[in-house]
Structure 1
């Protein structure tokens, strides 16, 4: 009898679980490029999704699909969400060069230097007035950057731009490619999951990417040197978006939209900045413990990089101006917005 009773109770529990799982009125698929152990997944996307679900009072359920498990390659994510193949994506803007020209201003060297939260808040400040036209076909939940482009090298110690001359360097964005070219190196574009074998096989000599990616991709095993500027200064950054298909968004009632909005406010994008900064610190500490050399450039060495990279901004201004965008004004707005939040 006890066995039968136990079986009945177990079946009842399973049924209750099934009812609970199906209780959500609105179900969403969120697709992204990194693995389920990456900080972007565990520390940003999962908590954000849970907060939306909580805000909705259980009406929303978000299922996250990491590592392109729904198919395609990372550069296809933006079209997947625009076409409604998935409901939500987290993606790198620069994987589709030229598609987000206004937002690129935050990728330029000298705009973002070392305060991730400040840059996130600055992007939020300028979204409605200056960036929104980049995002046709999607409803942006939030934009953010990573801690910034630092230099990872297989076997080359770097202290000056000349040390990179002739090297093959991976970069994810076209503005990053301009940085590499300005330094006299050859840019190699590839999504970040392809980075480890490229380093291991010598397809590239190094990469511009933050420290946070070191643990999930085991970059410490394929490189000897990690290099950054004085006071953690970086050489530009990468912009990201979490966005929903626009038609799906427009179909949602006001209370469900509010659940997403409340989970994506200024406090959250500031927290995202802190999450990425902390993940960066963890990554570089791991590399050093593995025996890699962490080089912090002196003020003079950093200034040499600044001087070489200054024309990258001029190139961007000229390029977007041909599209009717006031690039010079946007650079000044971006700098002012970042400065207004720095050190907070």
Structure 2
């Protein structure tokens, strides 16, 4: 017991028993009620996107504040956008595991084949909308992907809404329109499907895409609307092609929000509860819902620019899905090679997507 905890002089009307009883009550007070405003722990959150991106301003910043408030100021999270802590987007999972940062938002497709269950929903036509597909991803990871992120505490899994084609010259509405196009593919699996359709595909992180469009390395890209304003893609492209509402989306990249396991374990019980309460399925669904809202804002930017928007019919999308069967077969084998049941994982993903589409 420090000197500050020793009983002071007994005032008139007080006994030693009442003084000690008061001390006992103080010692029993919940930690949050006695905390000062100074943070007990500071965590570093590394983001690949530029500071103005909606994911930073409309999700991470409010989420950080919610955690600070819930912990009574004990947890402070510092946001580092634009890869300010160094490295490349594909290195973020290792940065979290190694403790270079404490939390990050990662894309499994930037580390191809390393997180196969988390990457499964990035196959072509495995998306309805962001909220429903994020719920599907979280369930799929709970059921099949528990061991994919060793050394980390997984906080949420989600997807964006279905991608669209954004091109400089002409709408894409049929497979014939794709032949000879030079497009930035969003991931390995979608790139293989596009290759089969006569596209010259290249792949690089979204953060490098503006240069590719500006210097003519690519004719267009396949991305959701939500990323358009952050990179001013509405100014670099003139045409957008989207699947009909009745069809599955072209693709959705998947995301994992992860935290260094040692950083999580080092928190007190009550602070770990704050992190637990701010993560999980509810957070996955919330991020997905937020991405659906981002999608609408991005579409509004394309419309305001005066760009042309065309529709890819449900029948055309169905024919593309049939064309992609070899991609699904190859992915099933990859999952099998990792000791997983590839057919069961794909069947479960499709069943969840179909069930979600009906709600």
Same topology, TM > 0.5 = yes
Q: Are 1:289 and 2:304 matched, yes or no?
A: yes
* 2:20 corresponds to: none
Query: 1:212 pairs with 214, 226, 236, which one?
Result: 226
- CA 1:228/1:79 → structure 2, altered by over 3 Å: closer, same or farther? same
Offset at 1:22?
Answer: 6.8
Q: Are 1:262 and 2:277 matched, yes or no?
A: yes
Query: 1:120 pairs with 125, 134, 149, which one?
Result: 134
* 1:144 corresponds to: 158
Offset at 1:129?
Answer: 2.3
CA RMSD of aligned residues (A): 1.9
Structure 1 range deviating more: 102-111 or 62-71: 102-111
- CA 1:182/1:133 → structure 2, altered by over 3 Å: closer, same or farther? farther
Structure 1 range deviating more: 33-42 or 176-185: 176-185
Q: Are 1:153 and 2:167 matched, yes or no?
A: yes
- SS in structure 2 at match of 1:133: coil
* 1:327 corresponds to: 342
Q: Which runs of 5+ in 1 are unaligned?
A: 1-19
Tell me if the contact between 1:34 and 1:67 (Cα under 8 Å) persists in the aligned partners. yes
Query: 1:79 pairs with 94, 101, 108, which one?
Result: 94
In 1: Cα distance, 2:293 partner to 2:231 partner: 17
Per-residue CA shift, 1:92-148, capped at 9, x if unaligned? 111111111111221122321x22111111222232320122112211111111112
Structure 1 range deviating more: 249-258 or 192-201: 249-258
Structure 1 range deviating more: 69-78 or 21-30: 21-30
Offset at 1:322?
Answer: 2.1
After superposition, where does 1:1-344 map in structure 2 within 5 Å? 23-112=38-127, 114-231=128-245, 233-342=248-357, 344=359
In 1: Cα distance, 2:191 partner to 2:319 partner: 19
Tell me if the contact between 2:240 and 2:309 (Cα under 8 Å) persists in the aligned partners. yes
Moved over 6 A (4+): none
- SS in structure 2 at match of 1:132: coil
TM-score, length basis structure 1: 0.89
Return the structure number with greater relative CO, CA threshold 8 A, min gap 6.
Answer: 1
TM-score, length basis structure 2: 0.85
Offset at 1:288?
Answer: 1.9
Which of these two proteins has the greater Rg computed from alpha carbons?
A: 2
In 2: Cα distance, 1:143 partner to 1:270 partner: 9
- SS in structure 1 at match of 2:146: helix
In 2: Cα distance, 1:197 partner to 1:47 partner: 31
In 1: Cα distance, 2:319 partner to 2:353 partner: 23
In 2: Cα distance, 1:343 partner to 1:49 partner: 34
- CA 1:101/1:78 → structure 2, altered by over 3 Å: closer, same or farther? same
Tell me if the contact between 2:151 and 2:261 (Cα under 8 Å) persists in the aligned partners. yes
- SS in structure 2 at match of 1:82: helix
Tell me if the contact between 2:122 and 2:189 (Cα under 8 Å) persists in the aligned partners. yes
Q: Which runs of 5+ in 2 are unaligned?
A: 1-34
